[in-house]
Amino acid sequence: MIIKELKHIENLQPSNRLTFTYHQFQQLLSELRRREVNSEVVAFINDEIDKINAVTKSDKAIRKQMMKSQVRVLRFMEQKQKLVVRKYYIKQWIALGFGVFGFPLGIAALYLFGNLVIGMFLGVTIGMLVGYGLDRKAKKEGRQINMIVEYR
């Protein structure tokens, strides 16, 4: 199966949020077309593209559907093919490091040094290092999609 094309959107403004989201989704699709993905994944992606192409209400509605579909495709790819975008694990582990390590270390630092920030900083740093290691491992194994996802 072949991944379908996203319908071209007329009159895209260069500074428009829809333009950014459209180009980012197009980049994701082109990266996925370069990889070998199974037919179940291609069918899922094509369903999401059909949902986007069906929306004709407004730019805001198209952008909203495109962002939902992008998140769904990325989650599905991570679950089924173990493919992740660049900095996926760093972003995930910074939050985990803050909550899991930073808060308890912050409470300990508050009692020891009278400063909560030291523990929070250590937690974020630990999370960032763990995420960096996982991102390097994913890249080494060829499981990393060459793009960074941003939400504007």
Q: For residues 80 and 83, give the distance between their C-alpha atoms in angstroms, rounded to a whole number.
A: 8
Which stretches within 97-116 are classed as H helix? Answer: 103-113
Query: Would you tell me how many other CB atoms lie within 10 Å of the CB of residue 70?
Result: 19
| pTM recorded for the entire structure | 0.81
Is residue 115 pLDDT above 90, yes or no?
Answer: no
Phi, psi of 119 (to 5 degrees): -65, -40
The 10 Å Cβ neighbour count of residue 17 is 14
Q: Could you state, in order of their start, the residue ranges of all structural domains in the chain?
A: 1-81, 88-138
Predicted pLDDT at 125: 94
Q: What mean pLDDT is reported for the chain? A: 88
State yes or no: pLDDT of 15 exceeds 70.
no
pLDDT, residue 93, reads: 94
Q: What residue ranges in the chain does DSSP mark as E strands?
A: 84-85, 144-145
Residue 125: count other Cβ atoms within 10 Å of its Cβ.
14
Q: What is the pLDDT of residues 59-96, one digit of tens each?
A: 788 888 989 999 999 999 999 889 999 999 999 999 99
